[in-house]
Chains A and B, each alone.
Chain A
Amino acid sequence: MRNDILFLAEFSAGKPARSALELATGAADLALQSGGVAVALAYGSGAADGASGLGAHGARRAIVLGDEDRPAITYAAVAVAAVRDADALALLAPATPNGRDLAAALVGTLHVPAFGPVRAARVTDGVLETEQATLQGNVITTARPTDGAPTPSIALVLANTFTPVEGNTGSAEVTQTPDAAESAFSRATVAESHEADAKVVNLEEATVIVAGGRGVGGEGGFGPLRDLAGALGGAVGASRAAADAGWIPYQLQIGQTGKVVKPALYIGAGISGAIQHRVGMQSAEHVIAINRDPDAPIGDFADLFVVGDLFQIVPALTEEIHRRKGTEGA
Chain B
Amino acid sequence: MKIVVCIKQVPATGADKRYTDDLRLDRNGVEAIINPLDEYAIEQALRLVDDGTVENVTYLTMGPEQASEALRRALAMGGDDAVLVTDPALAGADEWATAKVLAAALDKLAPDVALMGMASDDARGSLVPGAVAAMRDLPLLSYGAELAVGNGAARVRRLSATGFDWITAPLPVVATVTDQVGEPRYASLKGIMAAKRKPLETWSLAEVGLSADELSGAALTRVTDARPPEAKPPTERIENVPPAEAATKIADWLAARKLI
Identify the A interface with B (CB < 8 A): 12-13, 69, 71, 73, 76, 97, 100-109, 111-117, 129, 133-146, 149-150, 156, 183-185, 187-196, 199-200, 202, 208, 232, 240, 250-251, 256-257, 264-265, 275, 279, 286, 288, 294, 299-309, 312-313, 316-317, 319-321, 324-325
Task: Say yes or no: is B216 at the interface (Cβ < 8 Å to chain A).
Answer: yes
CB distance from A115 to the nearest CB of B (A): 6
Binding site for A on B (CB under 8 A): 11, 13-14, 16-19, 23, 25, 37, 94-96, 99, 103, 118-119, 121-135, 137-143, 145, 155, 158-170, 173, 178-180, 216-217, 219-230, 232-233, 235-241, 243-244, 246-251, 253-255, 257, 259-260
Cα A129 to Cα B260 in complex, Å, equals 36
Cross-chain contact A189 with B124 (CB below 8 angstroms): no
Is A193 a contact of B130 with CB atoms below 8 Å?
Answer: no
Check B247 against A317 for contact (C-beta < 8 Å). yes
Cross-chain contact B250 with A317 (CB below 8 angstroms): yes
Q: Is the CB of A117 within 8 A of B125?
A: yes
- Asked whether B238 lies within 8 Å of A202 as measured between CB atoms, the reply is no
Interchain CB contact under 8 A, B239 and A308? yes
Asked if A104 and B130 sit within 8 Å, CB to CB, the answer is yes
Q: Is B139 touching A187 in the complex (CB atoms < 8 A)?
A: yes
A140 touches B227 (CB 8 A): yes
B239 touches A320 (CB 8 A): no
- Which residues from B are CB-within-8-Å of A117? 124-125
Q: Of B118, B121, B155, B227, which contacts A191 at CB under 8 A?
A: B155
In the complex, are the beta carbons of A71 and B158 less than 8 A apart? Answer: yes
What is the CB-to-nearest-CB distance from A293 to chain B, in angstroms, rounded to a whole number?
11
- 12 A-B pairs with C-beta separation under 8 A: A100-B125, A105-B140, A116-B127, A139-B228, A140-B226, A141-B226, A143-B222, A144-B222, A184-B133, A188-B168, A304-B238, A307-B239
CA distance A296 to B51 in the complex (A): 41
Q: Which residues of A contact B96 (CB under 8 A)?
A: 107-108, 111-114
The listed residue (B143, B170, B223) touching A97 by CB distance below 8 A is B143
- Closest CB of chain A to B27's CB: distance in Å? 12
State the main secondary structure of chain B at its contact with A: mixed
Nearest CB of A to B22, in Å: 13
Partner of B169, one of A187, A196, A202, A256: A187
Given A105-B133, A140-B226, A184-B139, A100:B17 Cβ within 8 A: no
What residues of A have a CB within 8 angstroms of the CB of B243 in the complex? Answer: 308-309, 312-313, 316
A166 and B236 alpha carbons, distance in the complex (Å)? 35
Task: Assess whether A109 is in contact with B134, with CB atoms less than 8 Å apart.
Answer: yes
Task: For B250, give the chain A residue with the smallest CB separation.
Answer: A317
In the complex the two chains form, is A134's CB within 8 Å of B167's CB?
no
Does B228 contact A240, Cβ atoms closer than 8 Å?
no
A190 to B164, CA, bound (A): 10
A144 contacts which chain B residues (CB < 8 A)? Answer: 221-222, 224
B140 x A101 contact (CB < 8 A): yes
Give complex CA distance A140, B160 in Å: 32
Query: Is there an interface contact between B124 and A257, defined as CB atoms closer than 8 Å?
Result: no
11 additional A-B pairs beyond A103-B127, A137-B229, A313-B243, beta carbons within 8 Å, are A105-B130, A108-B133, A108-B134, A114-B94, A142-B224, A149-B221, A185-B133, A265-B259, A304-B237, A304-B238, A320-B251
Asked if A105 meets B247 with Cβ closer than 8 Å, knowing A188-B141, A232-B260, A275-B13, the reply is no
A249 CA / B133 CA spacing, docked (Å)? 30
Q: How far is the CA of A74 from the CA of B134 in the complex (A)?
A: 12
Contacts of A116 in B (CB 8 A): 125, 127
- Bound-complex Cα distance A255 to B17 (A): 20
Contact assessment for A100 and B130 in the assembled complex, using a CB-CB cutoff below 8 Å: yes
Chain B residues with CB under 8 A of A313 = 243, 246-247, 250
Are B124 and A108 within 8 A (Cβ)? no
* B143 contacts across to A, CB distance below 8 A: 97
Give the distance to chain A from B31, nearest Cβ to Cβ, in Å: 14
Q: Which residues of B contact A12 (CB under 8 A)?
A: 161
- In contact, A188 and B235 (Cβ under 8 angstroms): no
Q: Are A108 and B132 in contact (CB-based, < 8 A)?
A: yes
Chain A positions within 8 Å of B230 at CB level: 140
> Is B260 a contact of A321 with CB atoms below 8 Å?
yes
Q: For residue B13, which residues in chain A have a CB less than 8 angstroms away from its CB?
A: 136, 275
Which of A101, A102, A113, A250 interacts with B220 by CB under 8 Å?
A113
Known: A265-B254, A275-B13, A325-B260. A193 touches B133 (CB 8 A): no
**Contact between chains at B130 and A73 (CB < 8 Å):** yes
B residues in contact with A193, CB < 8 Å: 160, 163-165
Q: How far is the CA of A288 from the CA of B243 in the complex (A)?
A: 15
Chain B residues lying within 8 Å of A156, measured Cβ to Cβ, are: 125, 127
| Shortest 7 CB-CB contacts between residues of A and residues of B | A104-B130, A108-B134, A108-B131, A316-B247, A307-B239, A312-B243, A113-B220
- B170→A187 contact, CB < 8 A: yes
Nearest residue, chain A, Cβ from B17: A135
Closest A residue to B128 by beta carbon equals A104
A113 to chain B, nearest CB (A): 4
Q: Is the CB of B142 within 8 A of A105?
A: no
